Structure 1
Amino acid sequence: MPVIPGDKIDTLMTILCIASYEKGHEFLRESKRQGASVVLLTSLSLRDKAQWPLESIDEVFYMPDDNHHWDLPQTLNAVSYLARTRDFDRIVPLDDFDVEVAAALREHLRVPGMGETTAHYFRDKLAMRLKARESGIEVPEFVHLLNHGRVRRFLESVPGPWVLKPRSMAGAIGIRKIHHADELWAAAETLGDRQSHYLLERFVPGGIFHVDTIVYEKEVLFSIASGYGRPPMEVSHEGGIFTTRILERDSDDARRLRAANERVMAALGMVRGVSHTEFIKGVDEDHIYFLETSARVGGAHIADLVEAAAGLNLWAEWAKVEVAGGKAPYRPPEPKQDYSGLLVSLARQPNPDTSAYSDPEIVWRMNREHHAGLIVKSARAERVQERLDNYARRFEQDFLAYVPPKEKPTNWCSVQELAGHTKVYLPCLTRRHLQWLGNRKPIAKPLPLDFGLLEIHRKTDGTAGGPQIVEALRSVLASQALHTFQFQHQRVLHEDVGKAFPRTVALVNYWKESFDGRRDAPKAEFSQSALADVVEESRHPRYWRPQR
């Protein structure tokens, strides 16, 4: 019997995974292996690009996004609508930018897991520093870019240079080194009303380290310390080869870093999950300072680095932690004691060839356009370091390219060429530039309401516009104002839809044909307005089917 939304499925639980970027394939696979029903909510801009492991996903939903940013009220409404026919037992963010969205959804739906206050400690660089300092953890001196009097006193008392950091970006995005007070005030003037979203911190020259962790019921069950080659901010701003390596486990630095990480996890309130935490050890001082942390798996293929050395996959272990949920015992597998190193470079070539790198220590090769990357593994840490040093020099000659740092995360454009026509997904902003198929001239006209868009992607052999479709639309709009729907299948629409919602719904067909499949069909006469939210696709033939 086909599975229908709302039916009780014989699975352990239902996990909703939030992914504004393509991340966490192994989390999805392991969740399915653990017997869970896996629901993925991801960015609409990823629909034709991401290579999700669909065999491990039960349903896929797409949120309209503005460069991977989702409107939070729309997301709450969309997930709440899905929850009418699904019981979400866990809500898991697969990217750093999704941590606060997932926390807001948990609070709103009252789903167990990290709430908004704790999530801020793992996303907001100001909040995590304040909490760490209150708990006696050493951090570089900092000031919130808010009260100008306090900022002046900071500049007078803390010698430069300083680092200007956005509170909620990821990695080195938006970070800027400041050398003089005048430079800071000029930067603040440029930020305008965004000043309060930044902090200023003393620049500490030194080595940058990271500790990657599994926590279960407030106990750190696994942690491994690694050291970057050049600091990530330096690589981002000046170019070069990104490298990191597992530290010798019994070294003084590794022991101190793991101990500092445990204090950070306890202070910030990590109950269960995974974390990637960064520290700095000053060149001229013996202090280890806390820099920042996160409630997710480290990016830049650090999970692959850890797996090569320890034999466990952080994404898969995180899935096991979520399934156990504090109600069942969990222990990670006994880690191996090997060492590994990672190096990644932007490449001049579209598809760089690393076949000339053929040493037996190589266990992983990067497969991404304009990127070259390798992971090496050995039983000896010094051998890993030798290989990294050698490969970094060769990468500079063979591949290295440089792109100036980004002020905000970017990926591909939201404007796509589709069957010879331009297609624009509307950002959820107060003003929009709407561009219709076959017309490349933008219409700068704000839509009357700010609910975003609902796009429904459907395949059906049933009667177009049959009662089930009209009833579904009626239920969606029962408590809503005006909405705009986009249908991407020519057989979904029917004149009964217009009769059901006279003067309230605008139906926008994104195929080249008009509503009834003919190019010369008369345009539907509905009032135009904006809407919210979600495109549904699923593996189940009775209702929604993802494109494979």
Structure 2
Amino acid sequence: MKRDILIVGRRRLELVNRLVLDPRLRLSLITEPDCLPIYPAVDAVELVGNVQNLDEVRHAALRLMANRRVDAVVAPAESSIPTGGYLRSYLGLPGIAFDVAHAFCNKHAMKARLRRAGIPVARDRLVPSAEGIAPALRAHGLPAVIKPVWGDGSANIHIVRDETDVAEVARPDGPLLAGGAYDEPPFLVEEFLQFDDEFHCDGLVRDGEVRFTAVSQYLVPSLRSIGSVFGSYTLPVDDPLTLELTALHADVVKAMGLIDSVTHLEIFRTERGLVVGEIACRPGGSGIARNLRRAYGFDTWEHFLATELNDPLPWRPKTPDGTYGWIMFPVRRGTVRRVSDADVFAGLTEVEEVAVKVKPGDVIDGPLYSSSMSAVVHCRTESPADIAALVSAVEDRFTVEYE
């Protein structure tokens, strides 16, 4: 007998084909109208105005359940993870419950949990309304960072350094309140941390225990990455810093109350030591998932889906033979006139895979995120010490010209 799976979400192509092509599953879907075209093979569909509206999604789920049961809920993105948790709690289904899912996606609730557990995080202040933006920034102290409480990646995050910046982000038509996705209150004001090194830990959690952690370092901190070359690379498993970050990751998972899922944790190295940025209970974006598959055989999307379906996979990581990295080239708004092809990297033996994402005539518009790219290169070097020279070499070869 097929299992009945309810998908709740917007666009998340990483999972669509895996679910649609699985003969063991019968799918139902709750999504928004403009997202429907990416789900052509799902026939039981309810459309909602906003997948983050819990009441709207609950009623949609009950309508679907008039003709189908629900054995598991799959909620694959920041925008729908709390909604998926709410449906599991409401319907008594296994998986990530609402309180845990909400804490992973509401940055204020996340920081509160971590702070209570003694985990080092930035000082923060909740801003419940647009009118409170300027007073909250002044009361918190400058410089500061302001961002949506609900968000994805580096969307709509702003550094506020002085009164000019305060006035800019508080304007109704300014970059924060008219910033496209995630431009509605509440917002979070955070302490502006000085750091040059940012790391990410990507893990697998089963039965409340961290079974695997991969530790990587970003080429540059993600908040500085828009418009510049970005990426990350794996750190040696026996490095003392790797062991320290692995232990911190385990403490964060325990504090968050996660039982089964994958994780993506970001950590800063500051003058006062390691400070936790944010943690997500879904795979990391950009080139991270592919890099982890190459280095450890860790398919984060496969394991995420398996835990959402309550059907965890038997798996053992492989030992990486060297340092694995990904280097992502940015895009900017405009019409692409000319772009290098993969052949420009010929002769660089460290470059093992190239994916060029744009072509002449493409129009780049709308919000740009830390994951917005024109191309991504996957590479392997002997050690982390070789990464900087390789980044310089590939950056010299790849260009995009715009009208």
1:311 Cα deviation after fit: 1.4
1:60-459 to 2 correspondence within 5 Å?
61=45, 63=47, 71-145=53-127, 152-155=138-141, 160-181=142-163, 183-184=165-166, 187-188=169-170, 190=172, 197-206=186-195, 207-236=197-226, 239-282=227-270, 285-324=271-310, 331-338=314-321, 339-347=323-331, 348-349=336-337, 352-358=340-346, 359-369=348-358, 371-378=374-381, 380-395=383-398, 398-399=399-400
TM-score (normalizing by structure 2)? 0.81
Measure, in 1, the Cα distance between the counterparts of 2:161 and 2:47.
Answer: 41
Rounded Cα–Cα distance in structure 2 between residues aligned with 1:25 and 1:178? 37
Q: Secondary structure at the residue paired with 1:292?
A: strand
Following superposition, the deviation at residue 312 of structure 1 comes to 2.1
- Quick check: 2:341–2:356 contact (8 Å CA) kept in 1? no
The one-letter code matched in structure 2 to 1:135 is A
Q: How many residue pairs align between the two structures?
A: 370
Cα 1:356–1:152 change in 2 (3 A) is closer
Q: Distance in 1 between matches of 2:275 and 2:262?
A: 21
Alignment partner of 2:193: what SS?
coil
Q: Deviation per CA, 1:144-173: give whole Å up to 9, x if none.
A: 235888765532xxxx42111211111111
Gaps of 5+ in 1: 1-9, 403-548
**C-alpha displacement at 1:288, in angstroms?**
0.6
Separation in structure 2 between the aligned mates of residue 224 and residue 31 of structure 1, nearest angstrom: 29
1:65-89 CA-partner distances (Å, limit 9, x unpaired): 57xx665433322222112222222
State the alpha-carbon separation in 2 of the partners of residues 291 and 24 from structure 1: 25
Letter in 2 for 1:21: R
Deviations 1:446-486 (A, max 9, x none): xxxxxxxxxxxxxxxxxxxxxxxxxxxxxxxxxxxxxxxxx
Distance 1:270 1:401, change over 3 A: farther
Matches of 1:110 and 1:317, distance apart in 2: 22
For the structure 1 residues 308 and 152, does the alpha-carbon distance in structure 2 shift closer, same or farther, using more than 3 Å as the test? same
Contact kept, 8 Å, 2:30 with 2:60, in 1: the verdict is no
Q: For the structure 1 residues 346 and 163, does the alpha-carbon distance in structure 2 shift closer, same or farther, using more than 3 Å as the test?
A: same
Q: TM-score, normalised by structure 1?
A: 0.61
Structure 1 contact 42–60 (Cα < 8 Å) conserved: no
Q: Whole-Å Cα distance in 2 between the matches of residues 367 and 61 of structure 1?
A: 34
Return the alpha-carbon distance in structure 2 between the equivalents of residues 44 and 278 of structure 1: 33
Give the Cα separation in 2 of the matches to 1:195 and 1:70. 13
5+ residue gaps in structure 2?
178-182, 360-373
Matched to 2:400, the amino acid is F
Counterpart-to-counterpart distance in 2, 1:360 and 1:63:
49
Q: 1:195 to 1:154 in 2, by over 3 A?
A: farther
The 8 Å contact of residues 345 and 400 in structure 1, kept in 2 or not, is answered as no
Letter paired with 1:355: D
Q: Which has the larger radius of gyration?
A: 1
**Equivalent position of 1:544 in the other structure:** none
The CA deviation at 1:90 is: 1.4
Distance 1:360 1:59 in 2: 47
Q: Secondary structure at the match of 2:225?
A: helix
CA–CA distance in 2 between the matches of 1:230 and 1:77? Answer: 44
C-alpha RMSD of matched pairs (Å): 3.1
